[in-house]
A = this chain, B = another copy of it.
Amino acid sequence: MIALARAPATVANLGPGLDVLGLALAGEGDRVRAEPSEHPGVTIRSSGHPELPLDPTRNTAGIAAMSVLRRAGAQGAPGARGTTCGVVLAVTKGVPLSGGQGGSAASAAAAAVAVNAVLGGRLGANDLLEACLEAETAVAGRHADNLGAALLGGIVLVRSLDPLDVVRLPVPERLVVVIAEPDQRLETAEARALLPERVDRALAVHQAAQVGALVAALASGDLALLGRAIDDRIAEPVRAPRLIGFAEAKAAALGAGALACSISGSGPAAFALVERGGAGERVAEAMAAAYRSRGVACRARVAEIDRAGARLEET
């Protein structure tokens, strides 16, 4: 069969949850079309963007697809009768490149789900997550916050990578997200290099308390507590100075009624959390205007939380 899968953009970290928390954004996302081939392994027909390689060993969708094939035991003798021994992928990018919205994770998740469907759905969610983690590790570093959200949807917490242990968290019905996309680039590798290797114990304690409070707030629906818990003192302080307009956008978001605002993943995108029916459009406009006031073009939109994660679509 031919399969088409889509996976959402994601906001990693959610402030204090560096490498630990991820949230899936409703919207276009990335799409991967996979069809079986007698040619062994993975061939990428279109990568979705001129900057993305067609070489499957250097493309996140390709690496995830290869891992799914291997895990499903589908790389049998080339051409053996009745065996799907390879796949051809076509990627359509809806998530911006290097935008801090989990583009590599979305492509990997969509590819994993599409290829798994081509193979008859042999792998479960955990195997797919492991396959995607191989891809993410190769292109963006070993973390599963974007991936977990892209694959499972909603808001996830990555308790452990070894063994992989990803927890779906409750999502308050009243919670919506504003995502601002300033016209900037900050490569993931560069953004990670800014992080301190060591932190004060008191800071680690603070950060753990915020993650705990954030989870408690999601579970109880206490949006005011959720806002207070988004207080990141590890990543935001070192990344914000590299993101022109972020400080102004954050102040504008909070001034316009956002519950909280921080950097989406490693940036440059910024996110704000808002209560439904409240300040969404106003916060989006305020953030975009703040970036523009610093000379940075910016699109901002109100987004629902994608609760389904990566899924198949009609081909």
Contact = CB atoms under 8 A, between A and B. Distances in A.
- State the number of copies, please: 2
A212 B209 contact: no
A199 B201 contact: yes
A198 B200 contact: yes
Contact of A216 (B16, B196, B215): B215
A125 interface: no
B197 A201 contact: yes
Interface string A262-294: 000000000000000000000000000000000
A225 B167 contact: yes
Nearest to A195: B201
22 contacts: A18-B208, A19-B209, A20-B212, A157-B209, A158-B209, A159-B210, A159-B213, A167-B213, A195-B201, A196-B201, A197-B201, A198-B200, A198-B201, A203-B204, A204-B204, A204-B208, A208-B211, A211-B211, A215-B215, A215-B216, A219-B219, A219-B220
Given A201-B234, A203-B204, 18 more contacts: A17-B208, A18-B208, A20-B208, A157-B216, A159-B209, A167-B216, A169-B216, A170-B219, A170-B220, A195-B201, A197-B200, A199-B199, A199-B201, A204-B204, A207-B208, A209-B211, A215-B216, A215-B219
